[in-house]
Amino acid sequence: MLSDCTLTALSKVSSLSKQEMEDMAPSDLQIVVEAAKEVNPGFFGLKERLEKLNQARA
């Protein structure tokens, strides 16, 4: 399980399909997440801000 994002979200910011990622080892997925964060920090920054907003509302 990824703590940084869902497989669906990760498939939107990578060239991998959700099925390809489901077949990967967690350590390999973490490499993909780190690379995606480097290439698209805006996506992950927005995701983090939205999560904080949702937590504040709860």
Give pLDDT tens digits for 6-57. 888 888 888 999 899 999 999 999 999 999 999 999 988 998 999 999 999 9
For 16-27, write each residue's pLDDT tens digit.
998 999 999 999
The domain spans of the chain are 7-57
- Of 7, 36, 33, 35, the closest CA to residue 20 belongs to 7
pLDDT for 1:
52
H or E element at residue 8: helix 7-12
Model confidence at 5, in pLDDT bands (50, 70, 90)? confident
The band of 4, judged by pLDDT with boundaries at 50, 70 and 90, is confident
